[in-house]
Amino acid sequence: MSVFTEDEQQRIQQAVADAEKSTSGEIRVCMEKTCSDNPLDRAAKYFAQLEMHKTKLRNGVLIYVATVDRKFAIIGDAGINSAVPVDFWESTKEAMLSHFKYGNLVEGIVTGITQAGEQLKKYFPHLLNDKNELPDDIAFMDGN
């Protein structure tokens, strides 16, 4: 699934790495072409499939995007959900959407990563001997 150029993929991966530098939290981006389900349900499915619930502090965040169907969701694990303000996920989605509606897919994803990273940093600062528990690359799914 080549939605992005090599430079765009690198920019997204670098945004994840940068966001994770000052937090023990983990961020992943998951892409697929179509989504026949509710995007939150689909994101939850991939959250489990990518084993994001296995982080030590339960502070993983997944940004899910279905490019052809133009659906997306951003979800967090129990640890981050219990810490962030009630409207955090919705306000982050709105910030991402402000880029998506002008065709700026990469900028929207980077915005979501950045905002998630800021919240993770606030509630889950970088720990001594912290290790990167999940890959920073984009997970391209085939819709199964």
Mean pLDDT of 13-39: 94
User: Binning pLDDT at 50, 70 and 90, where does residue 9 land?
Assistant: very high
**Residue 129: pLDDT above 90?**
no
Mean pLDDT of 85-111: 95
Mean pLDDT of 21-33: 94
Reported as a single tens digit per residue, the pLDDT across 56-75 is 899 999 999 999 999 999 99
Rounded CA-CA distance 18/117 in Å is 8
Rg (CA), the chain: 14
Mean pLDDT of 82-95: 91
Nearby residues of 110 by Cβ (< 8 Å), 6 or more positions away: 11, 12, 15
What domains lie within the chain, and their CATH numbers?
6-140 (3.10.310.50)
Segments in 27-104 forming alpha helices (H): 39-49, 78-81, 88-100
